[in-house]
């Protein structure tokens, strides 16, 4: 995600309401997010669908890494040889059906 440009990417809510269509086009064209303010304080952020998807993908990846590290710390691991054996046994059971 690109850094926020204070002069362009922070907009009061009333201005956003009045020019919403233009701001959505700007977001789609530039890939920039838009910070919406009310009474000088941030109240929301508008992202393009592509930016939102990237954030979700990054979150899922980090959660998967955290889960893997937790498994390692809890001892829920197996050697490569044991994994290969287990997968081979599963394949053999499937081919017998």
Under the banding of pLDDT at 50, 70 and 90, the label for residue 2 is low
Given a contact cutoff of 8 angstroms between Cβ atoms, the answer to whether 24 and 3 are in contact is no
Give me the mean pLDDT over the 4-16 stretch: 80
Q: Looking at the predicted structure, is the pLDDT value of residue 92 above 70? A: yes
Residue 23 predicted with pLDDT over 80: yes
Could you write out the DSSP letters of every residue in the chain?
-PPP-HHHHEEEHHHHHHTHHHHHHHHHHH---EEEEETTEEEEEE--HHHHHHHHHHHHHHHHHHHHHHHHHTT----HHHHHHHHHHHHHHHHH-
**pLDDT tens string 31-86:** 889 999 999 999 999 999 999 999 999 999 999 999 999 999 999 999 999 999 99
Q: Does residue 12 surpass a pLDDT of 70?
A: yes
CATH superfamily of 6-47: YefM-like domain (3.40.1620.10)
Domain extent listing, the chain: 6-47, 51-96
Q: How many residues does the chain have?
A: 97
């Amino acid at each position: 995600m690109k850094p926020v440009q204070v002069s362009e990417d922070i907009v009061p809510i009333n201005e956003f309401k009045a020019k919403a269509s233009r701001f959505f086009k700007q977001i789609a064209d530039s890939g920039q997010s838009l910070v919406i303010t009310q009474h000088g304080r941030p109240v929301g952020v508008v992202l393009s669908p592509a930016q939102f998807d990237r954030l979700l993908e990054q979150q899922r990846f980090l959660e998967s890494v955290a889960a893997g590290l937790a498994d390692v710390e809890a001892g829920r691991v197996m050697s490569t040889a044991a994994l290969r054996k287990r997968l081979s046994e599963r394949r053999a059971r499937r081919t017998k059906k």
